[in-house]
């Protein structure tokens, strides 16, 4: 009997194939196979809402091969990922298979949360059908995003500059970043002082903070106040008024769900959100351990908003703890964790290791370094969550001299509990020890040895990091675990935000301008609460509680009214908007400069153009005030032009810095970087480097007679397979270099 099992990712094929017999053929859709068309809206509203789907680029061959295999199979199992995106992939491929399959009852939907033999065989034994509620929810999200993206973006082109785009969820995330920037700029620091006393007790000493003067909390806002208090403190006699001893239990953190894994991986091991998800995907799909040819799935499904653990997982963790730690570390009952993030569906388990006996030490022997580090984090958190709390002895000492009251709290670790396994840097910082002398008790006399006043200033709210932005999105109910990485990547790729050296988000001038315009003109779709409610409605569609088209019609009706008002119909309303400044044009003195956006970014210009052509770069100070920046003129170089003998100079062009002859326009010489080989196209001209808006390209010097060109950087290294004299050089964001042949028929890659 021939059986076909279709998965979403080709990386799963090898892992799953070792569990199933020769009757099974396993194939992959390699992600999505269909989508709305790229050059048209693809959504029609008549009596009902219809969606036009077309095959994605290069997916016709994949579809044809799967359909061919399906036509000769007795049973077909659709096994893409167990989420809405996986459900739509299963539905799309089922629609194609249905065209060649005689008996459609032989086609089944199966899902599994982990890639293990029991889970796969359990799924096959309990086959189901495609969940059309999930399909409808994914379609609703896709249509909402398509409407906002396709219909708002052209208006931004008219109002600000060409090439801009808007997104239903991404634009709201950008709003959070921009509002935080506004708060930072508007922040006015306030001075305050803390006062610490160093007290002697017998042969020991300890520090305590001044907290109250009489019944009033300490509130010191100037050096004069602080100096007066310090002088008075030195005249008092001190003794202990109260010693309070108690025990404090510190509970372990819950197992990971997607958002907490992203946040902890960023804070603890410095992984960007995208990298965390990429590595987690590999751990889920399987990586080789002892046997290099046999991948092993190491964690459960990594897109989840649940904190639930299966009984099998709990039993496995408790068994491991019993075996490797003494009985004091195992609680009488397994801890149960509350529901996860806002709007959590609880469809899958929390993220956990599949086999707790594959310890981080074992994994580190075989896995790539980063995969081993992420696995260690997941393993430790899972085991720790089933251990007893850590226990501290806590002592608070209150001491007084006159009206001045000081307090100090110290804690001692009595039992490490879960900290035996999982103790992050953040935990260690919170648990910094304060040593209080033994033997101290109420009425013990103290000797004030030193007073230390310190000046402080209140701090503005911090810029978002990837971790804190994910936390805020989760808190507000914006997006879902599977979308956080894409949201962050999108606002970065659109140049709406930048990451500084400390990996904190700062909005660009363009991001601020786009956000300001959208908030003003499309307040509903930019409203945080509205976006969160929309997520809840999508969840209701997935649960069968709400009709897809009802939601879409209600949204589109209100959206169209706002959009028409935003776009404007009169000619005057279609002029590009520009943010005014309070800086008078230094050339004409008649107008206030305005912020405009060009190919190179934001700049200041005079609205009196074309009569006044003044432009200037600018920067903002910490409070957001604009300052003109003088652009450096051409820099003369100690190099001469080989054509006319004049000095070369370095200038800034629209594609960056370049060298040229100072005798321009009489001499138009520009030095070019040449390859060591002739043009592979015509074999006559030089192969030279050129810059263009998208980056670097290489082409023939005989252009337009020879139009051979590659739009990439190159490595002057012959292709080992086809002997072409160069390889294309691609560098990703993590600095990883890939070399590949430019001849698609060759296909060489390293």
On whether the CB atoms of residues 49 and 28 are closer than 8 A, the answer is no
CA atoms within 13 A on the CB side of 555: 25
Active site residue 301: yes
Cα(75)–Cα(95) distance, integer angstroms: 16
CA atoms within 13 A on the CB side of 325: 21
Helix locations, 522-621, DSSP H: 528-542, 548-567
Instruction: Tell me the DSSP string of 403-468.
Output: TEEEEEEEEEEEE-GGGGT---HHHHHHT------TT--TT-EEEEEEEEEEEEE--PPPPPBHHH
Cα(299)–Cα(297) distance, integer angstroms: 6
Give the pair of three-digit tokens for residue 50: 């219809």
- Catalytic one among 301, 329, 484, 496? 301
First to last CA, the chain: 40
Cα(603)–Cα(597) distance, integer angstroms: 6
Which CA distances in Å does 302 have to 85, 86, 112, 120, 329?
A: 14, 13, 12, 17, 28
Q: Which residue has the tokens 């969160």?
A: 532
Q: H or E element: which one contains 601?
A: strand 601-605
Cα(413)–Cα(33) distance, integer angstroms: 56
* Closest to 485 measured CA to CA, from 280, 306, 339: 280
Cα(572)–Cα(235) distance, integer angstroms: 75
Burial of 285 (0-12, 13-18, 19+ CB in 10 A): buried
Tally of CB atoms within 10 A around 128: 11
Active site residues: 301
């Amino acid at each position: 009997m021939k059986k076909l099992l279709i998965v979403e990712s080709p990386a799963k094929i090898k892992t799953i194939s070792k569990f199933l017999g020769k009757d099974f053929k396993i194939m992959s859709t390699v992600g999505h196979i269909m989508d709305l068309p790229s050059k048209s809206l693809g959504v029609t509203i008549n009596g009902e809402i219809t969606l036009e789907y077309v095959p994605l680029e290069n997916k016709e061959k994949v579809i044809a091969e799967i359909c061919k295999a399906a036509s000769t199979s007795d049973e077909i199992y659709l096994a893409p990922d167990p989420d809405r995106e996986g459900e739509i992939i299963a539905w799309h491929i089922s629609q194609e298979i249905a065209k060649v399959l005689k008996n459609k009852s032989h086609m089944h939907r199966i899902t599994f949360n982990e890639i293990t033999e029991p889970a796969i065989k359990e799924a096959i034994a309990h086959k189901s059908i495609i969940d059309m509620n999930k399909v409808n929810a994914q379609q609703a999200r896709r249509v909402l995003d398509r409407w906002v993206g396709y219909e708002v973006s052209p208006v931004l082109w008219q109002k600000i500059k060409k090439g801009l785009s808007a997104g239903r969820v991404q634009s709201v995330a950008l709003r959070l970043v921009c509002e935080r920037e506004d708060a930072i700029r508007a922040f006015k620091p306030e001075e305050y002082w803390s006062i610490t006393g160093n007290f002697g007790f017998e042969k020991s000493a300890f520090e305590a903070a001044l907290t109250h003067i009489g019944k009033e909390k300490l509130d010191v806002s100037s050096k004069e106040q602080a100096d007066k208090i310090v002088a008075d403190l030195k005249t008092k006699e001190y003794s202990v008024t109260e010693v309070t001893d108690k025990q404090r239990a510190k509970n372990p953190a819950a197992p990971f769900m997607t958002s907490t894994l992203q946040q902890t991986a960023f804070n603890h091991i410095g992984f960007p959100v995208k990298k965390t998800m990429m590595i987690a995907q590999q751990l889920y799909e399987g990586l080789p351990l002892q046997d290099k040819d046999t991948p092993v799935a190491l964690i459960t499904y990594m897109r989840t908003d649940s904190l639930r653990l299966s009984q099998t997982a709990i039993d496995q963790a408790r068994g491991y703890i019993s075996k490797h730690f003494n009985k004091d570390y195992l609680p009488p009952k397994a801890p149960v964790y509350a529901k996860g993030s806002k709007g959590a569906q609880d469809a899958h388990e929390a993220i956990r290791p599949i086999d707790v006996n594959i310890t981080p030490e074992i994994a580190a022997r075989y896995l790539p370094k980063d995969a081993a580090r992420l696995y260690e984090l997941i393993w430790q958190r899972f085991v720790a969550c089933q251990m007893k709390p850590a226990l501290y002895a806590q002592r608070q000492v209150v001491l007084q001299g006159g009206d001045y009251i000081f307090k100090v709290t110290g804690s001692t670790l009595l039992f490490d509990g879960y900290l035996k396994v999982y103790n992050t840097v953040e935990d260690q910082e919170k648990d910094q020890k304060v040593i209080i002398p033994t033997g101290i008790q109420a009425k013990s006399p103290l000797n004030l040895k030193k007073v230390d006043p310190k000046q402080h200033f209140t701090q503005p709210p911090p810029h978002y990091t990837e971790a804190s932005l994910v936390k805020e999105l989760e808190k507000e109910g914006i997006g879902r675990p599977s979308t956080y990485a894409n949201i962050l990547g999108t606002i970065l790729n659109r140049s709406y935000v930048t990451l500084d050296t400390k990996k904190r988000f700062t909005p660009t001038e363009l991001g601020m301008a786009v956000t300001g315009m959208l908030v003003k003109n499309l307040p509903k779709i930019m409203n945080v609460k509205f976006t969160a409610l929309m997520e809840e409605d999508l969840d209701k569609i997935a649960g069968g509680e709400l009709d897809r088209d009802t939601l879409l019609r209600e949204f589109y009706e209100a959206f169209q009214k706002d959009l028409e008002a935003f776009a404007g119909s009169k000619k005057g309303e279609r002029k590009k908007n520009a943010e005014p400044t309070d800086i008078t044009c230094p050339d004409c003195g008649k107008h206030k400069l305005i912020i405009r956006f060009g190919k190179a970014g934001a700049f200041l210009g005079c609205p009196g153009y074309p009569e006044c052509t003044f432009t200037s770069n600018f920067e903002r100070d910490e409070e957001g005030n604009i300052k003109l920046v003088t652009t450096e003129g051409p820099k003369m170089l100690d190099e001469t032009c080989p054509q006319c003998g004049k000095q070369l100079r370095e200038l800034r062009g629209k594609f960056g810095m370049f060298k040229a002859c100072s005798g321009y326009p009489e001499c138009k010489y520009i030095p070019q970087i040449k390859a060591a080989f002739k043009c592979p196209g015509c074999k006559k001209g030089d192969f030279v480097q050129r810059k263009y808006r998208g980056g670097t390209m290489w082409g023939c010097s005989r252009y337009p007679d020879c139009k051979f060109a590659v739009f990439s950087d190159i490595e002057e290294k012959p292709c080992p397979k086809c002997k072409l004299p160069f390889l294309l050089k691609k560098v990703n964001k993590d600095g990883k270099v890939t070399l590949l042949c430019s001849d698609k028929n060759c296909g060489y890659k390293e």
